[in-house]
Structure 1
């Protein structure tokens, strides 16, 4: 077969529009994914691989093997389906949807489609054959009683759970591991002889030897015994294994970086703009170790020229190398309290790619010309070599610019004039930010201070000064400039998109605001300006914290995608991540795309096309969530340990979330959160109203609402479940301290007890990217 049966096209002679890209990737290129999909579509029915090879006149063994691998990859990525007759067909033609499984502790799940479409509900029965984060193909099987589309799993494309961390259990001769990760709801059966010395109650790592199916649970064997229960200091080890975070460098990576020196090679500096005499400076936190951005600002007749120089990671991490594949696999650095799992080896992250003071460094520069109103008028990107003239911190810059610290001003007098111009520019850009309506919620972040033996000494709020905001504003400007540049060049690229709130969330928000006498403009589609106008209106109100929290929770979650959907939170039509390639893989991809354009090459010849970029965006978004979940678990465990000796003590707090099963309360001075279960609220039936975020007693009329101040007593801490239980002051029962494993580990298997419903605070998906946008 050399021609399509439908349109009589001879595909052996068709010019592949992505031939340049394929030639750049392979010595013996084969047809692109796009052309193969076109062939299958025009063929009109399922097709064998042999027929595909014949259609493109592929004959050599290398070409046939390359085609086999490509078809397997397309199958894995959900672009084609390999049916029982060993034929390929388009997924869309089969009314199938590819996506990633999101599992919930109660046993059900959702499919998050790769194309960004509406999530599908997956029943607990269907969930038996998959684990959290697996990629699958599903078909829509109907609509449930809540009006949600239901999906039936047709095929598992990719398994993403290969080891499970949890407690080793043995009951009635059956050995299994109870997962520590609550998103994995199935116990892992341990094969005969696979316990390898683990004792009941030990925290262990089980490697899966058989994945779950509709008929049997996952099966595995113990490959590591971490210790008894959750001993102090084990929390990060458990999180690393629970979330399968890559933390060791493969031998291929170690071999590749062996030749790297501590100084930049002279030949690498050739052909670059020399900025070593420009007084660029880095401004970071006190404890920062990797510096991936430097800034410089000078006055012009009509405004300012701003240089944002970013470490040129793409020079050292070449596409397709072992180092690149490992960076892609990790996607992001993971920041635990006092410990980091970096995306790149230390010789790069803290060495060659870190903009250390008084050392030559390769960089990619975004040059912006900004007018006196703070508007970016022109941008330019170029490769350069630079030297940082000072390693500054936020506190030092704030002391000089906000508090006129003469001692520091004298010490840094060489760069002070440029810092003052930066401050003037920041104020102009800040005004422009307010005009366009970028989100600026007043949220509180905290820092854990450790004492001896890694015990929490205290939890303190972090203070953001104008130096933080200055750098954040400059990084946002550079990120936005990079997105506009790549959009203009029509390049395959990863954008950072943040969609506006859904119609349902807007409807619920308006209902809530109506109850507190407020209104948000914009009709059915409020804009960022409408949101910010409302936040200005509520300043000074006693319920301002409550209203801001509800506004924030109406937002969606920011993700990586090639789609041009803009960034609602920042009120920008185009946004990407360009400024942190040391710790984020999407930034590295953006650097490569920009350099591709600077070299005058066409979008079609870029090594990564739009279909692959879309899948990469989903991969990076998933790994970003994984890193957040792992960090949250560690912090939750540390806070539980911190509260163990405070059982019986009384604290003031604020209701931070309201659910049908109780109230989550954040302690005012400790910044620790716990649950007041609904059964402890008194002799009444409390009805949950999700629109007004309150629990109200039917008989007494007592009402507990989001943002209310309360006094609580700590009644229990459970290290295993990472939960803290509170009761309201005056309503507490007799307090009984619980050991970490008192709930489950030592109870007889047949003994039944009445348990409270499982509780879990709803995720805050409306997280606006408040941190410094590097």
Structure 2
């Protein structure tokens, strides 16, 4: 930067710091300093430089004032294009950090920053900032591919947010050779002229070895795989068969007709259901494995479960929260076995309202282990073989279908939002390679279990809210007003309207989803509506669940695979047993805030890891099909191209540079790509034929190109 510019900066800074100066706008400063119009751009550049340095700041009204802006803290997330964002706890909006203002921050760093430009809702400009200090490094280990050079090596990180290779000095590679996926511990985070440095602490496997790809994702998210020996020994000791002493004092429900209904390959069966009808009312029992009987507070098992937070379901493996001796053994509600449970027994009227309930420690025995496919065959396909096989249970299944419909309608009336995106069902061979991918749609059986679990969760949450005891709730706050206004503006382009007043109501979002159902723009608008929502989380305070339009909600039904469920089971049991005294209340009030934050964070980590493994397998699947053609639907339109989704849920991008029949312009108001010469149009929901052009395993992206671009495929 020139000395002249620095001198001008000093002059302007001294002017603003003068005792007689009062905050004023740019034009006022220019007039007082008599800056000619042709030099005002330079004045603006000087003010921006001072602002970015944190020496002055601009108020919301655009007035420049002396003094440093308030210093804030957050976590830095870098972007592969060089810029980044700071994420602040409890804030919905991230702060944009330009490449010039990163100040050496590394992915995951805890940083101190100042706001340099306030958000402007009218122009759509987001809040911008400058990092002024790195408080602590959040990334200590990096997963990537090792490459050997003459007398040193380097690791190319899998995480594209890490913008630089990691230098590995000679002798620090731990025997790794080119092509090995490794874990590196960082010893230096680099600088403007130096790469980060580290040493190899673990070799995951060669890039071509089966399982290395998934294990690389596991390691990159720092997911604990193996259980410590102390935890395994404890699981072995406590995982004994249910004894008479275990069952003593519990409500005995072993003569009740009940079943588990899960996926065919499920092994941790933590919920069973029973249902009878007396007069007009239904008696629904939701019976949940009493995991707390085996996982005592502060034990090695409990500490490990809290550290994991949740089970993680990857495409080819499960990383359980608890050892299999418990999760697939004595805590699993296996057919024909005596099992300890915590039951929520509800009396439901014909309107779908719970008019009476009981939460009790019970002992149960499941009659049959059912799966979703079998129950759906009975209820939807009326399959004679399945009906004959489960003849004694069919009346209960019919009753379940009846009650499920009532409960769903009841939720719909109050405004519950149902985002029904098809999940991907992966079929892998023995080496973990995908041989088929198809949408995993919800059927009548999955909806029955979903409806019954939701009702139990609401019922338990409401009781403990009114008991005024420490508790963990599953909360989903009202969406941010600005995000909903942006959604409202967007859907106006398609002729839809959503009422955005002082507070948007879930019924409005539900109505919108109903209107777009079956339309070409359904997928896009549903996804944008979902992104406009806040993330659900665990909190010790009950603020309701916006998406479910529920005043009270918790997670009670999966203590094998979610720590918050395990935690509230302890509270419920202590209350049932009359042990919830002042000392125990104080104890839970102290620990629950931290449990809530940690559980929410670990849940997000698990979801991201699951999502990345699915994306990886989709890319692997399409890698074998480069050059093949597929029918699909345009699911998104942007200035850089058109996203196309195939019937099997795989999505790829047709980049504008690969639309070679014309130069395509993005028409933002119509969300269309229009050819400059041909006037050919690509729009949302349009049926198209695409060819697989290329895949990128590192970025987990798929590139398509349109086939026969001179031919239209109308939806």
TM-score range, shorter chain: 0.7 to 0.9
Structure 1 residue 603 displacement after superposition: 6.7
Match of 1:143 among 96, 104, 117: 117
Match of 1:362 in 2: 340
Equivalent runs, 1:60-459 vs 2, <5 Å: 99-116=74-91, 118-122=93-97, 124=99, 131-133=106-108, 136=110, 138=112, 140-143=114-117, 146-148=125-127, 150=129, 152=131, 156=135, 161-170=139-148, 175-209=153-187, 218-451=196-429, 453-459=431-437
Match of 2:65 in 1: none
- 8 A contact 2:105–2:134 mirrored in 1: no
Q: 1:555 and 1:302 mapped to 2: Cα distance?
A: 38
Structure 1 residue 610 displacement after superposition: 5.0
Equivalent runs, 1:261-660 vs 2, <5 Å: 261-451=239-429, 453-521=431-499, 523=501, 525-600=503-578, 601-602=580-581, 605-606=584-585, 609-610=588-589, 612-660=591-639
Structure 1 residue 295 displacement after superposition: 0.8
Which secondary structure does the structure 2 equivalent of 1:351 belong to? Answer: helix
Which secondary structure does the structure 2 equivalent of 1:453 belong to? Answer: coil
Structure 1 residue 245 displacement after superposition: 0.8
Q: Tell me: CA distance 1:368–1:110, structure 2 relative to 1, closer, same or farther (3 Å).
A: farther
Answer with 310-319 or 187-196: which moved more: 187-196
- 8 A contact 1:282–1:295 mirrored in 2: yes
TM normalised by structure 1 equals 0.75
- 8 A contact 1:370–1:377 mirrored in 2: yes
Structure 1 residue 650 displacement after superposition: 1.9
Q: Tell me: CA distance 1:538–1:677, structure 2 relative to 1, closer, same or farther (3 Å).
A: closer
Q: 1:490 and 1:432 mapped to 2: Cα distance?
A: 27
Q: 1:99 and 1:616 mapped to 2: Cα distance?
A: 20
Structure 1 residue 219 displacement after superposition: 3.3
Q: 1:293 and 1:482 mapped to 2: Cα distance?
A: 15
- 8 A contact 1:640–1:724 mirrored in 2: yes
> What RMSD over aligned residues (CA atoms) do the two structures have, in Å?
3.1
Q: 2:478 and 2:497 mapped to 1: Cα distance?
A: 18
Match of 1:719 in 2: 697
Q: 1:592 and 1:128 mapped to 2: Cα distance?
A: 47
Deviation track 1:585-609 (CA, whole Å, cap 9, x = no partner) reads 1211221222233234147634755
- 8 A contact 1:663–1:677 mirrored in 2: yes
Q: 2:101 and 2:586 mapped to 1: Cα distance?
A: 38
Deviation track 1:533-560 (CA, whole Å, cap 9, x = no partner) reads 2333344544444443443343333222
Q: 1:579 and 1:711 mapped to 2: Cα distance?
A: 44
Q: 1:99 and 1:345 mapped to 2: Cα distance?
A: 35
Deviation track 1:17-72 (CA, whole Å, cap 9, x = no partner) reads xxxxxxxxxxxxxxxxxxxxxxxxxxxxxxxxxxxxxxxxxxxxxxxxxxxxxxxx
Q: 1:141 and 1:368 mapped to 2: Cα distance?
A: 52
Match of 2:18 in 1: none
Q: 1:397 and 1:707 mapped to 2: Cα distance?
A: 34
Q: 2:281 and 2:250 mapped to 1: Cα distance?
A: 27
- 8 A contact 1:593–1:606 mirrored in 2: no
Residue 728 of structure 1 pairs with residue 690 of structure 2: no
Match of 2:644 in 1: 665
Structure 2: gaps spanning 5 or more residues: 1-68, 120-124, 711-715
Structure 1 residue 235 displacement after superposition: 1.7
- 8 A contact 2:461–2:554 mirrored in 1: yes
Q: 1:401 and 1:608 mapped to 2: Cα distance?
A: 48
Q: 2:631 and 2:534 mapped to 1: Cα distance?
A: 31
Q: Tell me: CA distance 1:164–1:128, structure 2 relative to 1, closer, same or farther (3 Å).
A: farther
Answer with 195-204 or 609-618: which moved more: 609-618
Q: Tell me: CA distance 1:379–1:191, structure 2 relative to 1, closer, same or farther (3 Å).
A: farther
Structure 1 residue 316 displacement after superposition: 1.3
Q: 1:320 and 1:299 mapped to 2: Cα distance?
A: 42
Structure 1 residue 481 displacement after superposition: 1.7
Q: 1:240 and 1:539 mapped to 2: Cα distance?
A: 37
Q: 1:677 and 1:496 mapped to 2: Cα distance?
A: 40
Q: Tell me: CA distance 1:490–1:128, structure 2 relative to 1, closer, same or farther (3 Å).
A: farther
Q: 1:109 and 1:499 mapped to 2: Cα distance?
A: 26
Q: 2:70 and 2:318 mapped to 1: Cα distance?
A: 43
Structure 1 residue 665 displacement after superposition: 1.8
Structure 1 residue 308 displacement after superposition: 0.6
Deviation track 1:290-337 (CA, whole Å, cap 9, x = no partner) reads 100011112133411211111111221122122111111111111122
Q: 1:154 and 1:603 mapped to 2: Cα distance?
A: 44
Structure 1 residue 579 displacement after superposition: 0.6
Q: 1:644 and 1:216 mapped to 2: Cα distance?
A: 36
Q: 2:470 and 2:89 mapped to 1: Cα distance?
A: 17
Deviation track 1:164-187 (CA, whole Å, cap 9, x = no partner) reads 210123568653222112233343
Answer with 117-126 or 577-586: which moved more: 117-126
- 8 A contact 1:508–1:691 mirrored in 2: no
Which secondary structure does the structure 2 equivalent of 1:402 belong to? Answer: helix
Match of 1:705 in 2: 683
Larger RCO of the pair (alpha carbons < 8 Å, separation 6+): 1
Q: 2:242 and 2:72 mapped to 1: Cα distance?
A: 48
Q: Tell me: CA distance 1:559–1:702, structure 2 relative to 1, closer, same or farther (3 Å).
A: farther
- 8 A contact 1:489–1:603 mirrored in 2: no
Tell me how many residue pairs correspond in the alignment.
636
Match of 2:20 in 1: none
Which secondary structure does the structure 1 equivalent of 2:367 belong to? Answer: coil
Answer with 316-325 or 108-117: which moved more: 108-117
